[in-house]
A and B are shown apart, each in its own frame.
Chain A
Amino acid sequence: MNAIEIKGLTKNFKEKQALCGLDMTVPVGAIYGFIGENGSGKSTTEKIICGLIHKSSGTVKLFSKDHTDPEIRSQMSALIEAPGCFPNMSVWNNMMLQAANLDISNAEQEVVKVLKLVRMEGAAGNKYKNCSLGMKQRVGIAMALLGNPKLLVLDEPINGLDADGMRIMREVLTDISKTGATVVISSHILGELEKIATHYGIIKGGKMLKEMTAAELEADCRTYTALQAKDMSRAKAILSCKYSHVEEDESGYIRVYDTVTPEEIVCYLYENGIIITEIGKAKIGLEEYYIDLMKGGK
Chain B
Amino acid sequence: MKLKMGLIILTVIVTVVLLGPLWATLDPETIHWDDMAIAPDTVYWFGTDVMGRDLYIRTLLGGQVSLMVGLLATIVSVLIGVLYGMLAGYFGGKVDAVMMRLVDVFYALPFLFLVILLMVFFGQQLWLLFAAIGCYLWLDMARIVRGQTLMLKEQGFIEASVALGQPSKNILFKHILPNLKSVVIVYATLIVPQVIMIESFLSFLGLGVQEPMTSWGALVNEGADNMELAPWSLWFPALFLSLTLVGFNLVGDGLRDRWDPSNKT
Chains A and B form a bound pair: no
